[in-house]
A and B are shown apart, each in its own frame.
Chain A
Amino acid sequence: MNSKRRTLLKGSLAAGAVGVAASAGLLAPRSVLAAWPKSAFSAKGIDASLSELYGSGDAASSSSIKLKAPDIAENGAVVPVTVSSSIKNAESISIFVAKNPQPLTSSYALGSATDAYVATRIKMGKTSDVVAVVKAGGKLYSAKKEVKVTIGGCGG
């Protein structure tokens, strides 16, 4: 009788601790996720991802966007990419890799005084087009470049 009571107490104590840990662990990411466009990042195609991100899948190809990336990337885990644009009032820049499982790599919201210039390093699973999309004045513009990958950087 007495020993049973002990186990019951222990059990309820443990359950309480787990509950507290779970709520503490869940609360922080949830507030972050509110701003982070999860559906755009998990979309399987560029068009689907674009419409999740900007509400429209149409991006006109533009020569005013400069996409700098290597012709051949020896290591797909680190591919340096630079996007710059002469399009005025650019609000946002996004970088996609067409054949990655989730094409959207990153999206940048630019402040009013920020130049349309972003450089970063991305992962590529295999040889694919890298697509840069610039949003300006409610319209979408894009530029792409093929990068050959000799060693993939996703899931390897």
Chain B
Amino acid sequence: MKIAVLVKLVPDTASQIRLNQEKSWIETRDLNWVLNPYDEYAVEEALKIAAEKGGDVTVITYGKDEAVEALRKALAMGANGAILIKKEGYTDLLGTAEALAKVLKEKAFDLIFAGLKAVDDDCAAIGPMIATIMDIPCITEITKLEVGDGQVTAQRDIEGGHESIQASTPCLLTAQKGLNEPRYPSLKGIMMAKKKTVEILEGEHVEPRVETLSLSYPPERAPGKIVGEGLDAVPELVRLLREEARVIE
């Protein structure tokens, strides 16, 4: 089985994100970069399936030279191959999906995994966009997966419950938390990852069809108050919620 996993390098979720001086982009200098947490679930699931059913796992990213770091992290977890599709400048969502879909089509994978969302742009869009471009089935936000012969059955959460969905392969799946527990790369894995070669492809540059107008910090929350300590504070809290905040009757 040929399995692809789409991965992205993102700032660590614990990062304080600051804007640059011109407020035209985020300040990237002091950030700690990690493999997108949702992509870790995707890589883990792919590795598990490859181990159970036989096959190999190729991790793919569309990005600048630095993005190779995401590939290294996934290789260290155990992926067999890696592809960097080089991009220049800024691309829009559709451009990213098109660039990835082009390579995915050529390489003819049986299963393609992506993360539910990248925790930088929080779009949750690339997976279903690629599947639509490729015209293959896609199940998003999966929390459970069974792979059979030429088909998969996945579970996904919906509001107030979950649903179980079947699709034939090739198909694309986006990984949600709960799917598995991603492994930590072993020291040996990290050493091996450094030696594995990364295939480099030139991506076509598509001019972004969106314009970023401005970046800002979220509105500050008004300073709150400590109502009090212990049980004595409860009646006052209730009074404030009723009379000041007016959020309860």
Are these two chains actual partners, yes or no?
no
B interface, CB within 8 angstroms of A: none
Give me the interface of A with B, judged by CB distance under 8 Å.
none
